């Protein structure tokens, strides 16, 4: 174990070296004319301003949380296996998560204008630049995650458990302290995703409602005061937010598998550490598979399918991971393993990894079907746009609700079969297998916002029509890849949360969660409610910020003469400031819910009620995440369908027609669904599970007796009776 474990941070370093190489390549590409560079500069400056404001607020949250964790880590008691160093792990996780988003945002603001310039040459060149920008983010996120997790594991092992057995109390301390890294990563990810989502959708809604619907100008028209804020939002929400999001998911999945692996009874060549090492090694192998696969994402001509090129890279990374995982499992794990009385073999673990890869692939295919142009779901919304705004909304809601059926069946089958093969460790390693190709998934996802920004710069710079056609081609595919990325994230969150849930059950000392008990059932219902109030707060925040944006855009059209005639420049910075201030202000309450509710319920009501709460949050959150992300993606591509013209009841309708205006309304409603509340669901359910895992030792049942904390509800009942 002392030698093979060093492969883990080495994998991370390889990913970061690739990141630096491709970042340099993107930076050397032609950035276009002076006007294009000026617009790109506005976007980059706005994105940096937002991140600085966000980081300042998050520092006020992170420091007190670190102090609290240090205090908890210093407590002594039966079953307590922590240390004040958990605060250090938390801070490092938070910094790495913020850095992951920053890397993506920086390269995206460089790649957008260079993609627009590349589109002057060919579609193939534009795809090369935009996807390379996305791959910088993908490899950077995966590289940081593996380097951070592997490096800290080695450090804490040497500090606490050098030479100790896997099941020793010293090793439990090392893993418990390592959980702080995941808590820091997920905490920052939640605020980055919610804050970025509020920012981007407030700007998008304001730009659409006033610019396109009222003023009748294109979405990315230089005359629209909100257009710079809209393009900034693509970076801070869909790039920086998504980067921090999947960074947290990646780390949480590996950590949950390591926690369960620590409980496995095993005799191997690595001192019993093989079940703990395996998820980290699979992540490293997946990173290398993704790196190799990036070189196969290419097209030949103007009529080549961009979607097929991206699918080639995605499927190749999955196949390579599948093949290498077989040899990894065979050489790392012994023949027989036992976890909580469940016996399984090394091949059973490999079968579980296959289940995870299949679930991830199917989730991407299903999400693509429900959100891609030309498919039945999106076409049904297009047809309903012919009879007005209301029927468009009805059609989009129906598509979103219908889109939950197949993903849930796939997830349920994945949970069943992975458990069938290797018990709860099988479920967790299936999630690790699914997340192994995160670098490629994120590269494909980040490609979309870069292409979207490129189209905006092309429109604002008044580049030739063929340039905009090429960027629109990329952007349409980007909408679908963004939706599939969110589907992938919510599927991984479901499996990861189940693994974290199992780890929580083991550490908290409970053997079952009996929903027949009134307090547990109450916790289950409260947990099911949380994703709804969380979504309501996010959507309401977008609505409030969008109202401010709409009023500001209307004011500028009214008070600054000459905007519509290109004689005066809009005050872009005021719209950027509105989105920045509103998003920072509104993100705090949703984030506080995710962090405080598990603590309150756990310390007052005990671990079993908290388990019921987590079950409710997970089921409800997964459904809400799939519904909102797919409905929003379908509405968006229904609107884009009108750009080339659609046939409704035998008549062709294009941009500016009444059905198109109805589709714009649907897209506006779907914006906070797909980019704010929907994708935040996966972070919500994982973060609440990680918080519960961290506090589990302090609320645990010990020796079959009720702990002091658990006596609280009993005392409350006695007082009430009196």
Is pLDDT at 1 greater than 70 in this prediction? no
Tens-place pLDDT, residues 336-365: 888 888 899 999 999 999 999 899 889 888
First to last CA, the chain: 59
d(CA 422, CA 405): 26
Task: Give yes or no for residue 720 having a pLDDT over 50.
Answer: no
Rounded mean pLDDT, 584-604: 86
Task: Work out the percent of the chain whose per-residue pLDDT is above 70.
Answer: 95
SS3 content of the chain, % helix, strand, coil (to 5): 80, 0, 20
For 326-333, which contacts have Cβ atoms below 8 Å and span 24 or more sequence positions? 326/350, 328/278, 328/281, 328/282, 328/285, 329/278, 329/353, 332/268, 332/270, 332/274, 332/277, 332/278, 332/281, 333/266, 333/268, 333/274, 333/275, 333/278
CA 666 from centre of chain = 24
Q: How many CB atoms lie within 10 A of CB 312?
A: 16
Cα 336 off chain centre by: 35
Asked if residues 485 and 444 have their Cβ atoms less than 8 Å apart, the reply is: yes
Q: Which residues are CB-contacts of 318 (< 8 A; sequence separation ≥ 6)?
A: 289, 357, 360, 361, 437
Mean residue pLDDT across the chain: 86
pLDDT at 79: 65
User: Is pLDDT at 613 greater than 70 in this prediction?
Assistant: yes
Q: pLDDT band for position 321 (50/70/90)?
A: very high
The pLDDT value recorded for residue 77 is: 66
H or E segment and range at residue 345 = strand 342-345
Other CB atoms within a 10 A radius of the CB of residue 706 amount to 12
Q: Are 259 and 171 in contact (CB under 8 A)?
A: no
Q: Distance (Å, rounded) from C-alpha 251 to C-alpha 482?
A: 21
Q: Rounded to an integer, what distance in angstroms lies between the CA atom of residue 243 and that of residue 251?
A: 12
Looking at residue 239, its pLDDT comes to 82
- pLDDT tens figures, 629-678: 899 989 988 988 887 788 888 888 888 888 888 998 898 888 888 888 88
For residue 265, name the pLDDT band (cuts at 50, 70, 90).
Answer: confident
Residue 551 has pLDDT above 90, yes or no: no
Q: Which pLDDT score, from 0 to 100, does residue 340 have? A: 83
Measure Cα distances from 198 to 82, 204, 569, 671, 673 in Å: 36, 10, 26, 10, 11
- Cα 479 from Cα 39, distance rounded (Å): 23
526 exposure class (CB count in 10 Å sphere: 0-12, 13-18, 19+): middle
What was the pLDDT predicted at 181? 92
Structure-block tokens of residue 285 = 């192998």
Q: Using one digit for the tens of pLDDT, what is the confidence trace for 158-202?
A: 998 887 877 788 888 888 899 899 889 888 888 888 888 888 777
CA-wise closest residue to 261 among 250, 249, 275: 275
For residue 722, pLDDT beyond 50: no
Residue-level pLDDT at 710: 41
Helices 678-695 + 169-206 axis angle, to 10: 160
- Neighbouring CB atoms inside 10 A of 363's CB total 26
Query: Residue 144: what pLDDT?
Result: 93
pLDDT at 449: 86
Dihedral angle at the C-alpha atoms of 535, 536, 538, 544, nearest 10 degrees?
A: 160
Q: Which residues contact 365 (CB under 8 A, 6 or more apart)?
A: none
Lowest-pLDDT range of 117-131, 313-327, 483-497: 483-497
| Rounded Cα gap, residues 618 and 252, in angstroms | 15
Helices (H), 436-460: 438-460
**Residue 471, pLDDT above cutoff 70:** yes
Residue linked to tokens 């996305």: 134
Highest mean pLDDT among 77-91, 161-175, 421-435: 421-435
Q: How many Cβ atoms are within 10 Å of 21's Cβ, its own excluded? A: 11
Residue whose C-alpha is closest to residue 138's, from 239, 276, 58, 1:
239
**The pLDDT of residue 476:** 77
**124 pLDDT higher than 70:** yes
In SS3 terms, 384-427 reads as HHCCCHHHHHHHHHHHHHHCCHHHHHHHHHHHHHHHHHHHHHHH
Confidence of residue 542 (pLDDT cuts 50, 70, 90): confident
């Amino acid at each position: 174990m002392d030698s093979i474990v060093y492969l883990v941070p080495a994998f991370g370093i390889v990913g970061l070296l690739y990141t630096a190489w491709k970042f340099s390549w993107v930076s050397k590409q032609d950035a276009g004319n002076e006007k294009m560079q000026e617009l790109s500069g506005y976007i980059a400056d706005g994105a940096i301003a937002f991140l600085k404001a966000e980081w300042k607020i998050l520092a006020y949250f992170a420091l007190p949380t670190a102090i609290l964790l240090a205090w908890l880590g210093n407590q002594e008691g039966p079953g307590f296996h922590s240390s004040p160093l958990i605060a250090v792990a938390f801070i490092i996780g938070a910094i790495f998560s913020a850095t992951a988003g920053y890397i993506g945002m920086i390269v995206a603001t460089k790649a957008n204008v260079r993609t627009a310039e590349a589109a002057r040459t060919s579609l193939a060149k534009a795809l090369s630049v935009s996807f390379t920008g996305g791959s910088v983010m993908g490899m950077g996120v995966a590289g940081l995650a593996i380097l951070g997790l592997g490096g800290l594991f080695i450090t804490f092992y040497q500090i606490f458990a050098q030479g100790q057995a896997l099941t020793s109390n010293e090793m439990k301390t090392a893993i418990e302290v390592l959980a702080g890294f995941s808590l820091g990563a997920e905490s920052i990810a939640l605020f980055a995703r919610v804050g970025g989502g509020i920012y981007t959708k407030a700007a998008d809604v304001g730009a659409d409602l006033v610019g396109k619907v009222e003023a009748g100008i294109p979405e990315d028209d230089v005359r629209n005061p909100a257009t710079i804020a809209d393009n900034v939002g693509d970076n801070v929400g869909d790039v920086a937010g998504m980067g921090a999001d999947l960074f947290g998911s990646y780390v949480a999945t590996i950590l949950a598998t390591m926690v369960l692996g620590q409980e496995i009874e095993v005799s191997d060549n690595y001192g019993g550490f093989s079940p703990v090492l395996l998820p980290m090694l699979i992540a490293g192998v997946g990173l290398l598979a993704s790196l190799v696969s990036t070189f196969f994402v290419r097209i030949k001509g103007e009529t080549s399918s961009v979607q097929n090129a991206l699918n080639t890279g995605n499927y190749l990374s999955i196949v390579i991971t599948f093949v290498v995982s077989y040899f990894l499992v065979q050489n790392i794990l012994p023949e027989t393993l036992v976890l909580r009385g469940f016996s399984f073999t090394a091949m059973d673990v490999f079968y579980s990894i296959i289940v995870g890869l299949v679930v991830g692939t199917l989730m991407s295919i299903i999400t693509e079907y429900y959100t891609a142009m030309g498919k039945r779901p999106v076409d049904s919304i297009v047809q309903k746009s012919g009879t007005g705004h209301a029927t468009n909304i009805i059609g989009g809601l129906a598509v979103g609700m219908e889109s939950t059926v197949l993903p849930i069946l796939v997830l349920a089958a994945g949970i069943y079969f992975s458990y069938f093969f290797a018990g709860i460790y099988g479920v967790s390693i299936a999630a690790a297998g699914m997340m192994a190709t995160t670098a490629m998934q994120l590269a494909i996802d980040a490609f979309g916002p870069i292409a979207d920004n490129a189209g905006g710069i092309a429109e604002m710079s008044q580049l030739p029509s063929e340039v905009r056609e090429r960027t629109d081609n990329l952007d349409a595919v980007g909408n679908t890849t963004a939706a599939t990325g969110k589907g992938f994230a919510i599927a991984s969150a479901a499996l990861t949360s189940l693994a974290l849930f199992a780890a929580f059950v083991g550490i908290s000392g409970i053997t079952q969660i009996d929903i027949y008990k009134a307090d547990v059932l109450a916790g289950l219902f409260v947990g099911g409610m949380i994703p709804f109030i969380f979504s309501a707060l996010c959507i309401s925040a977008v609505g409030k910020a969008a109202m401010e944006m709409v009023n500001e855009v209307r004011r500028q059209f009214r008070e600054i003469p000459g905007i519509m005639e290109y004689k005066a420049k809009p005050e872009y910075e005021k719209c950027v400031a509105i989105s920045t201030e509103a998003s920072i202000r509104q993100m705090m309450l949703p984030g506080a819910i995710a962090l405080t509710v598990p603590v309150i319920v756990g310390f007052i009501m005990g671990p079993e009620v908290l388990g019921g709460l987590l079950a409710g949050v997970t089921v409800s959150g997964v459904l809400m995440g799939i519904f909102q992300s797919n409905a929003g993606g379908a509405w968006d591509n229904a609107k884009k369908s009108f750009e080339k013209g659609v046939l409704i009841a035998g008549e062709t309708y294009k941009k500016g027609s009444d059905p198109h205006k109805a589709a714009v309304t649907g897209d506006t409603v779907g914006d906070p669904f797909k980019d704010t509340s929907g994708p935040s669901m996966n972070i919500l359910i994982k973060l609440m599970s990680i918080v519960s895992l961290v506090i589990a030792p302090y609320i645990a049942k010990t020796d079959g007796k009720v702990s002091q904390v658990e006596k609280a509800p009993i005392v409350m009942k006695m007082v009430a009776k009196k």
